[in-house]
């Protein structure tokens, strides 16, 4: 499990932590797709992984100060 972010006022310390945790959850969900046989559960896990992956990407874009976050 990821460690807690440093107690800092630097937002990237915190966004890095959240991004790591989101990516860990995405990996877990995708691993679980192969462990269940229910197609609805598989679709739920894959959809959840896609949504969380998009959110992790938004954190990445924030950290890179891409135009949407300026």
pLDDT in tens, 9-58: 888 889 999 999 999 999 999 999 999 999 999 999 999 999 999 999 99
- Is the model more confident about 6 or about 24? 24
Residue 7 domain-assigned (yes or no): no
Residue 22 domain-assigned (yes or no): yes
Model confidence at 8, in pLDDT bands (50, 70, 90)? confident
Residue 20 domain-assigned (yes or no): yes
Angle between the N-to-C axes of helices 11-33 and 39-63, in degrees from 0 to 180, rounded to the nearest 10:
160
**Can you give the pLDDT at residue 69?**
67
Q: State the residue range of the domain holding 27.
A: 12-63
| Whether residue 2 has pLDDT greater than 80 | no
Instruction: Output the CA angle 21-50-10, nearest 5 degrees.
Output: 35
d(CA 29, CA 47): 9
Q: How many domains does the chain have?
A: 1
Model confidence at 65, in pLDDT bands (50, 70, 90)? confident
């Amino acid at each position: 499990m990821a460690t807690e972010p440093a107690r800092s006022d630097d937002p990237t310390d915190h966004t890095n932590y959240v991004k790591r945790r989101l990516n860990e959850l995405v990996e877990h969900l995708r691993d679980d797709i192969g462990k269940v046989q229910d197609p609805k559960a598989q679709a739920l896990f894959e959809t959840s992984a896609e949504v969380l992956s998009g959110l992790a990407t938004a954190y990445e874009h924030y950290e890179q100060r891409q135009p949407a976050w300026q």
